[in-house]
Amino acid sequence: MVYLSDPIGDLLTRMRNAQHARRPACQAPWSKIKQQLCELLKKEGWIEEVEVIGEAPKQELLVTFSREKPTLTLERRSKPGRRLYVGFAELKPVLQGFGMAVLTTSDGLLTDRQARKRKMGGEILCTVS
């Protein structure tokens, strides 16, 4: 068994590597927060499909990339060794609004636009552009 200290960073790296290898999809171990992150990316149109495959103890996420979108630039912002928290006033648009940041808040995972609209801050997990 492999222990990961940063499972979200592992998911983002798997997605980056699969896209650079020109694969249409990638698989990663399942967790609730990873599934929520992928569902948020799907809802915002960055990826095409998210599917949970397998049985309960060995579930995996199957992430299918969108062919219309170019290769995603996924950057992990808050890391286990250095957490990055911001209030809604310090939350700036990513690439002048063409990208997005994903935050963990008390209301769950939100994009930077949603967090500014609700006037909520939180931990910046990653940026997508």
Residue 1 has pLDDT above 80, yes or no: no
pTM metric for this prediction = 0.94
Average pLDDT along the chain: 95
- Do domains 7-65 and 74-128 share one topology? The answer is no
Whether the per-residue pLDDT at 7 is higher than 70: the answer is: yes
Q: Are strands 74-76 and 122-128 parallel, antiparallel or unpaired?
A: antiparallel
Instruction: With beta carbons less than 8 A apart as the criterion, state whether 66 and 46 touch.
Output: yes
Cα 88–Cα 94–Cα 109 angle in degrees, nearest 5: 55
Q: Between vectors from CA 73 to CA 33 and to CA 37, what angle results, nearest 5°?
A: 15
CA dist., res. 115 & res. 97, Å (int): 14
Domains of the chain, by residue range, sit at 7-65, 74-128
- Pick the closest to residue 86 from 125, 114, 29, 33 (CA basis): 125
CATH of domain 74-128: 3.30.1490.10
Residue 3: predicted pLDDT: 77
Band of pLDDT at residue 25, cut at 50, 70 and 90: very high
Tell me the CATH number for domain 7-65.
Answer: 3.30.1370.30
